[in-house]
Amino acid sequence: MAHHDDLLQLAHESVRKTSPNQAELRRAVSTVYYALFHLLVSETTLNWSRDTSRNALGRMFDHGLMKRVSDRVADSKRTPFTGEDPTSVSELRWVAEAFAQLQERRHIADYDNGTLWTPLEAVVAVARAEAAFIVWDKIKHTNIAQEYLVSLHSAPRLRHGAFSLRP
């Protein structure tokens, strides 16, 4: 089982507990974001031909850039994906939106002690990540999905085939 799968399983187990406490709910929300983060990083680094450099490449990802790119990809006005398969576009947008939303929820879970989490909110976050894993598996070989992966690691001023990452 891959690291991202382990994280997803850990988050799932945390929310299945009877009467989880705030620390467990917060940890589940945070962990499930990292599960999706590591899935996308893993998928990107698998494209790198040198096995020995993949871990170093994986450590170079920036959460802020990944969020900005995901927000842009999720927005049909900013990234129209003209001429691409509408189903693949819709599914990629869904994954990108899930990433951005889970990152926002992780920030709340990790840093906003004034927010009390309900078990349902944590379950919804875990379910969203689980669905993102499934949707990603369906589209990961498409050109736009592969370009999304590259953009998660690239400077936003670069232009890729299907979409522009210019601000």
Instruction: Dump pLDDT digits (tens) for 98-118.
Output: 999 999 999 999 999 999 999
Closest by CA to 33, choosing from 95, 114, 105, is 105
**Mapping DSSP to helix (H, G, I), strand (E, B) and coil, where does residue 159 land?**
strand
Given a cut of 70, whether residue 157 has pLDDT beyond it is: no
How many CB atoms are closer than 10 A to CB 103? 19
160 token code pair: 């890729």
Give SS3 for 99: helix
Q: Give the pLDDT band (50/70/90) at residue 155.
A: low
- The rounded distance, in Å, linking the Cα atoms of 134 and 142 is 15
Rounded to two decimals, the pTM is 0.89
**Cα distance between residue 61 and residue 84, in whole Å:** 27
pLDDT of amino acid 27: 96
For the domain made up of 3-153, give the CATH fold: Four Helix Bundle (Hemerythrin (Met), subunit A) (1.20.120)
